[in-house]
Every structure is written in C-alpha cells, then in structure tokens.
C-alpha cells in the first residue's frame, strides 16, 4: 500500500500536468477525494461583492441541478460561515464549518437548506488559493457528517502549500494565452528571434506580412536593419520582458514591430500590418461626411494640411474648415486625438485598403 507521502506526490504529479484552469480545477477535485474521501469536492471562484461565482464539481452533477444550485449559491454565498470567515479575517488555511460555526447556526440558513441538505452534506472543509483582490478561489470537500481528522487536515495543509505554486503557474500561463489571443485578434503575430536577430520560430501570417514589407521573416532569416532598428543598445538587452516602442518599418507595405526581450532569449517579436481604414468605415462609425472622412484619413497617415490640400486638389483654407468641422464633430482639440478616435471607433477586421485607394474615393 502506498505511503501517505507517496499518495501526496502522485496527486501533485497529476495536478501538475493540468493544461488550463478548468483542467486544474477538475484534477484538484479528483485528487482531493482520493486523498480525503467525501461526497464531493468542488473548486469555487467567488466574487462576493458582485455575487458571482464559478464552480467545478466532482463527481459532476446534472446540468439542471448545477444551474439550480449555482443560482442559490450566488444569491446566498454570504451565509457560508467559511467564506464569511475568510472575508472577515483574511485567513486562507484549512478551515471547516465546525471550526467557525461550532453552534451549528449555519444549518438553519436558506443556503444550507436549499444547497447542501438535499445532497446530504453535513460537514465541509476548505482552503484558499491566491487570487486577485476581491476574488476568492477555494477548494472544498463535502461530507455526510463525519468530521475531518487532524491527520486529514494536516495532509490538506501540506497539499495546499504545493497547490499555491501550481495554481500560480497555471493561472499565469492562462493569462498569457488570453493576452496572446487578444493580441492576435488585434492583428499581432509572433516571431521568436535570437540575440543576433536570426528568426528561430515563425508562422505563415508573419512570413506573409514580412514578404509584403520586403523583410524575410522565415525561420533562419537574419533581420539585419530591422533588428538594429528595434533591438536597441546591446548593453540593455538583459531587461526582462521590456517592450520597445512600436516601430513602423518602411520598405514595401509598412508594418509595425514591437520587441519583448528576455534575459536569456529567445526574444519575442510582435508584428502586424497597420490598421487600414476606409472612407466608408469612418463615415459609418463617426458620422463624418465623405470629404471630411477623406481629410481625416490623410491626417491619420501623417499628411499636413498643405499636403492634404494638394492631394485632394483643395484650397488649404478649405482643408482648415474641414479640420475644424472634424474637431467639432468628434469633440476633440488635436490631430492626435482625431487619430485615436478613428482607430478606437472602427473595428480592426474592417480594415483593408491603402492610403492611395482610400484617398482616391469620390468625394461628395
């Protein structure tokens, strides 16, 4: 028969293989019940102030029951004496109902009658994992009435010490994935680069962006002038995860590049094609006239009033009047603010044409 320490190590190995938070929660619940038997185990994230919660239950229950019990818990979670204890004391260690409610007053609450009693639960033990301010992340074991022994509580306390670090790793990895997904949705693509500017890892989107700009971003390519432009002084390369300012690189079709350096490499190069807005985008999103939209788009591309006048075959005084109308319409006072309003108002996926194509559209 496996020793207590062997069982604990095996549980930690299984939990440590979790790929995301949902997987982590399910593995934790399974292993909790293997180490400390009970009716069920739950992973619970709560926001008491907003009365919101997310729960993973093992063994799983029917979806209808899950929805019903979940609503009861969201509305009455403040009645659970363990959660109330954590909220008022700031503690996070192994705690049971009997520890914080020895008189059993909780058994007379609506939460107990509607959530726990129907499932035969008479005792509960829980502990917290690290979470952002205002959020509680708890692992819970429920039983039919048998109290948790001192040995079981010691085992849970030891398990918690390790789960704190595992949870941090998994939650940070998930936050990174969400960040990367958000950046990808905004048009950014990732290339990995070594200290010399040689591409170690790339993808089809990045290669296509580079090809259009006249830069080889395929695996094994040397970035040369692009690397010099974005990597900065070599003596500063040991800054951990320090992004450079976004750099617009000219060549073919322009693109933007942002570098995040690692102390030991590889370094992460984010690239994307700039958002390309159209007259129709701006007219629909901001209510400008077609001519005002043309003027605004040339402003976004860095044209001066004189250059805009030449481009659209207008008098410079007419361009100034259009600018004043644009400022009034958008409620801004600077050219930079116009650029910000346009990019904030028009969805990324609607972008597509070059400045020449956009400016050459007919005016009203």
Question: Is residue 364 a part of any domain in this protein?
Answer: no
The reported pTM is 0.62
> Do both 286 and 329 map to the same domain?
yes
109-120: average pLDDT? 95
Q: What is the DSSP letter of 236?
A: G
Q: If DSSP states are collapsed to H, E and C, what string results for 278-339?
A: CHHHHHHHHCCCHHHHHHHHHHHCCCCHHHHHHHHCCCHHHHHHHHHHHHHHHCCCCHHHHH
User: Does one domain contain both 264 and 194?
Assistant: yes
* 58, 164: one domain: yes
Q: Measured between alpha carbons, how far is residue 150 from residues 51, 82, 155 in Å?
A: 33, 18, 9
Domain boundary among the residues 250, 272, 294 is at: 272
pLDDT above 90: residue 177: no
Q: What is the pLDDT of residue 243?
A: 61
Tell whether 197 is covered by a domain: yes
- Let me know whether 132 and 83 are in one domain: yes
122-136, 169-183, 234-248, 329-343, range with the lowest pLDDT: 234-248
Cβ–Cβ under 8 Å, residues 260 and 222 = no
Which band of pLDDT confidence, cut at 50, 70 and 90, is reported for residue 33?
very high
131 plus 267 within the same structural domain: no
Burial class (CB in 10 A: 0-12, 13-18, 19+), 347: exposed
pLDDT higher than 70, residue 357:
no
pLDDT value at residue 316 = 92
Domain end residue (candidates: 222, 247, 272): 272
Alpha helices in 112-245 (DSSP H): 150-185, 204-213, 225-231
End position of a domain, from candidates 256, 272, 288: 272
Residue 158: the pLDDT is 96
Binned at pLDDT 50, 70 and 90, residue 327 comes out as very high
Q: Return the pLDDT at 172.
A: 87
Residue 90 corresponds to which tokens in the numbers above?
Answer: 């700031």
Q: Is residue 61 part of a domain?
A: yes
Q: Are residues 71 and 191 in the same domain?
A: no
Least-confidence region, from 8-17, 230-239, 293-302, 303-312: 230-239
Same domain, 36 and 143: yes
How many folded domains does the chain comprise? 3
For residues 100 and 165, membership in a common domain is answered with yes
Over the stretch 39-98, which tens digit does the pLDDT of each residue have?
Answer: 999 999 998 888 888 999 999 988 888 889 989 999 999 999 999 999 999 999 999 999
Indicate if 197 and 257 belong to the same structural domain. Answer: yes
CB atoms within 10 A of CB 290: 15
| pLDDT above 70 for 111 | yes
Domain encompassing residue 286: 279-359
- Are residues 171 and 114 part of one domain? yes
């Amino acid at each position: 028969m496996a020793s207590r320490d062997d069982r604990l190590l095996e549980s930690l190995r299984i939990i440590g293989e979790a790929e995301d938070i949902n997987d982590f929660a399910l593995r934790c619940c399974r292993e909790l019940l293997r180490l400390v038997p009970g009716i069920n185990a739950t992973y619970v994230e709560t926001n008491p102030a907003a009365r919101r919660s997310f729960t993973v239950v093992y063994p799983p229950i029917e979806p209808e029951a899950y929805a019903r019990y979940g609503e009861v818990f969201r509305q009455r979670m403040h009645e659970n004496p363990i959660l109330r204890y954590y909220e008022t004391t700031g503690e996070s260690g192994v705690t049971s109902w009997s520890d914080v409610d020895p008189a059993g007053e909780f058994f007379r609450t609506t939460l107990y009658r509607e959530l726990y009693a129907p499932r035969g639960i008479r005792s509960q033990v829980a502990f917290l994992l690290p979470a952002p301010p205002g959020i509680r992340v708890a692992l819970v074991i429920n039983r039919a009435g048998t109290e948790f022994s001192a040995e079981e509580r010691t085992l849970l306390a030891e398990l918690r010490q390790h789960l704190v670090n595992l949870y941090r790793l998994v939650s940070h990895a998930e936050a990174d994935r969400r960040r990367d997904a958000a950046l990808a949705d905004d048009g950014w693509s990732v290339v990995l680069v070594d200290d010399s500017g040689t591409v170690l890892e790339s993808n089809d989107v990045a290669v296509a962006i580079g090809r259009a700009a006249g830069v080889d971003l395929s695996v094994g390519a040397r970035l040369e002038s692009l690397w010099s432009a974005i990597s900065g002084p070599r003596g500063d390369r040991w800054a951990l995860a320090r992004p450079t300012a976004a750099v617009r690189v000219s060549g073919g079709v322009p693109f933007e590049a942002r570098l995040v350096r690692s102390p030991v490499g590889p370094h992460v190069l984010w690239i994307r094609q700039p958002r390309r807005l159209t007259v129709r985008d701006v007219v629909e999103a901001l209510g400008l006239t077609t001519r005002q939209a043309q003027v605004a788009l040339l402003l976004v591309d860095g044209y001066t009033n004189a250059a805009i006048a030449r481009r659209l075959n207008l008098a410079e005084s007419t361009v100034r009047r259009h600018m004043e109308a644009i400022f009034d319409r958008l409620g801004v006072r600077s050219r930079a603010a116009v650029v910000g309003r346009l990019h904030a108002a028009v969805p990324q996926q609607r972008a597509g044409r070059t400045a020449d194509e956009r400016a050459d559209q007919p005016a009203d």
